[in-house]
Structure 1
């Protein structure tokens, strides 16, 4: 049972069979830090800066506020859901309670695939920075070794327990603020070489065609940046007072993430001494050159240390989110080897428990894709786009399920609620999500072959076909009697209990 609910409330919510083994050691700051380091504006900016400028020039920065606003709508919907259902696993239990077990199974299957690929993408973007930091010659072979090592270190830290996860998340958060954001402010104040007007200047991109299309193709800059806030809800059973703190942590993750990403991205643009060369694609790795030119070798070394910490924290947070999803999925007997995956092990020090078996899968799966990318090194951008699309599909499955319940008469029963504005926010979040998915799926370069142009949709189709086939043939949902499609009933029970408590 939870620490702040008595048994009737736990039964209403359908909490985990063994939630008492989790220790509620995560407070608001740590929960926010977990989502923030998963979203990781520092890692996002360091990863996507060169691609964003080459695709749409400096105006690509405006995708940050555009996407942040849309994702804030999604986070508000998620906030109402998690406030009623503060259950480990996030997308899976939310979809199950809002729609049903088959729907939730597909949502979780897609989310698992997307999270595995997301973790792999972050590791791939981290490799050049780690190679520079440790003075390792960068080659396909050394890149694989660095990537596998980063995943192994993240697994080792995660295995020690929730306290380590929270500590590393806080360290990553401080590195983001002091390192990346602080560097951005320094560049803006003391090393600015370009006027603020360049943020509205395409600088020759699509000079012979429509810049609007080029700008649309740069949507990945923002869409890659602003997910990860849902990780705050993935560990809900390990958070103190999650009904109120998790929604707030998700909102803070997006708002603070927007400010941090915008400052860092703008700082690098305005301090770049060779901005046109970067836009023309003549500088493969522009951020180290910008920092070295502005802050010298010491500044460059500090950036690499900060970047290494940020990427490690991001990988740690993503592995944690994936392991909790697998654990939540498996404890409802929805996966092969569910008993093994849903086993909890004592933390180091014996103060709580962690799903260590699920963590093993969360580490090994990205390792396999990392090895595959050794043979397909040009696929990193496509892999990243697939990861983002998969995440957005899952988000919108939850948003759609919430809207379905509202139409049926659901009024969220948790202590955190939007009230009458909930329906409008829900509709706007769905419209935004559909537009985002279209932007992610539309192919860019018309000179590429069919498979290369449509690789993102092909990848999603493979995940859907494989998952759908397994679901139909194996019927994994049939072995679970966990509650489903009970949002209205649970909300009404919670309100009756709250009314009874207030009457007493």
Structure 2
């Protein structure tokens, strides 16, 4: 590979779309190594399955309700609006840089090599922990379907020794399966993910219908502040309850991670990034509203039992277990999607010789068209993170919480420098920028600066909210007071380890081209 200039809006002309996409990629100095076979639905499924509302709302409903009461519902549309601002920025830059390792590639082209490396580093760490957190959710569901899934001991609670050990076993088996799927090729991953996403959409629809047809109160329940509303400082309780939505609505940019495996990614990725977030937000919002309307009570039982408590009351034992089987599918494809996105990010950084053992991690199997080493390494690291749960489930829960902070920091590594570039004229005159089919690229136009600014402000506020020291979030049992500082500690530790791993003294083989409107805008 040579250090050639990379015009971000180079039009693609002539030939089939796949050939045009390969030629398009070569404009950035890269050759087509990954198999390009994903269509629009597969691109959408990558983002939707990462968000996985059926998995995350199933796990986290009680968190939001316990702090904000029924009125915590309003944190959902607030977070969606903020994240949609980020998604708009991602959509615009995805159209111009359709390259694997999206966050890393976008942030370095907007902010330079150091910001780009740390953007990729934060996202990679977060995805490894997030995949582990998704895998461990099997313990919450599978023993409830059949007690035979409690292989170790007889207590399924995650806080017990046997429950934690069994969670690691089930999660490890899942990670071995997802690693194998990622190794045999993107086509298999895509087929399985598409089927899983279809099942999840059917499951979400069934849940919504079941909840609304068993409503015990009207939609005005969302104005009830509940028990927290009887205490001073409800606004603070409301802000804390918003962490639930903040934890859920991430990962919608996964379509960008698979850009080099997607047909016409300049057109498809921007659309599916926005669509994955919006469909997740609508489906999740209806699930939250339906649960509040159908819950037998709005007291402690709902705060502790969450959505499973409501569904068990509404559906009964048999249909409740059928739904739990669908939740297992959602957990499976969520873990698969996160691991896939992380492997492409690791491959992209290694291809640029930005990681230790880059030669191994950047190797693509010619038969499967996938980077096998990153998938295997990520699977092993995820299992290693799972093992932490055996020693102290509170530490694992804290890790799962603070890793979301790293995702928001990674997002800021794109939107922040992107705003700076806009003030200097990026993306310039976009009238000649087209995709592989000759259609104009997605652009925010004159709204770019104000929308980008709002996305940055939102991101900063969310990082502060997520990292704020709170014993009730990070150390609810009160056993390890230091855990309430887990957010700031995590950020500092990630930066220090990142500094140690940063490729000091190594010249980037594909140096970032300095943006000039006269050249890039054409």
TM-score, reference length from structure 2: 0.87
From 445, 459, 463, the equivalent of 2:471 is 445
Alignment of 1:291 onto 2:311? yes
CA contact (8 A) 1:24 1:238 kept: yes
1:165 matched residue in structure 2: 189
Query: What displacement does 1:118 show?
Result: 1.2
From 87, 97, 101, the equivalent of 2:99 is 87
Segments of 5+ residues of structure 2 without an aligned counterpart are 1-11, 151-155, 157-162, 434-440
Distance 1:102 1:220, change over 3 A: same
Query: Following superposition of structure 1 onto structure 2, how do residues 173-252 of structure 1 map, counting pairs within 5 Å?
Result: 173-188=197-212, 190-205=213-228, 207-252=230-275
Count of paired positions:
480
Query: What displacement does 1:342 show?
Result: 0.5
Query: What displacement does 1:8 show?
Result: 7.2
Query: Following superposition of structure 1 onto structure 2, how do residues 58-207 of structure 1 map, counting pairs within 5 Å?
Result: 58-135=70-147, 136-137=149-150, 138=156, 139-188=163-212, 190-205=213-228, 207=230
Query: What displacement does 1:171 show?
Result: 1.9
TM-score, reference length from structure 1: 0.90
CA contact (8 A) 2:141 2:324 kept: yes
> How far, CA to CA, are the matches of 1:126 and 1:238 in structure 2?
30
Alignment of 1:255 onto 2:278? yes
Distance 1:6 1:71, change over 3 A: closer
From 308, 314, 323, the equivalent of 2:343 is 323
Distance 1:237 1:8, change over 3 A: closer
Distance 1:242 1:233, change over 3 A: same
CA contact (8 A) 1:181 1:261 kept: no
Query: What displacement does 1:6 show?
Result: 7.8
Which shifted more, 64-73 or 205-214? 205-214
Distance 1:221 1:286, change over 3 A: closer
> How far, CA to CA, are the matches of 2:488 and 2:272 in structure 1?
32
Query: What displacement does 1:163 show?
Result: 1.4
Segments of 5+ residues of structure 1 without an aligned counterpart are 497-504
Distance 1:483 1:275, change over 3 A: same
1:359 matched residue in structure 2: 375
Cα deviation digits, residues 476-501 of structure 1 (max 9, x gap): 6x242213144447x835x54xxxxx
CA contact (8 A) 1:405 1:488 kept: no
From 55, 58, 61, the equivalent of 1:43 is 55
Which shifted more, 286-295 or 172-181? 286-295
Alignment of 1:340 onto 2:360? yes
Alignment of 1:22 onto 2:34? yes
Distance 1:67 1:208, change over 3 A: closer
CA contact (8 A) 1:291 1:299 kept: no
> How far, CA to CA, are the matches of 1:355 and 1:41 in structure 2?
28
Query: What displacement does 1:450 show?
Result: 4.8
> How far, CA to CA, are the matches of 2:21 and 2:239 in structure 1?
50
CA contact (8 A) 2:99 2:105 kept: yes
Secondary structure in structure 2 of the residue aligned to 1:3: helix
Query: What displacement does 1:372 show?
Result: 0.9
CA contact (8 A) 2:69 2:229 kept: no
Which shifted more, 334-343 or 381-390? 381-390
1:469 matched residue in structure 2: 500
> How far, CA to CA, are the matches of 1:142 and 1:167 in structure 2?
29
Secondary structure in structure 2 of the residue aligned to 1:340: helix
From 28, 48, 52, the equivalent of 1:13 is 28
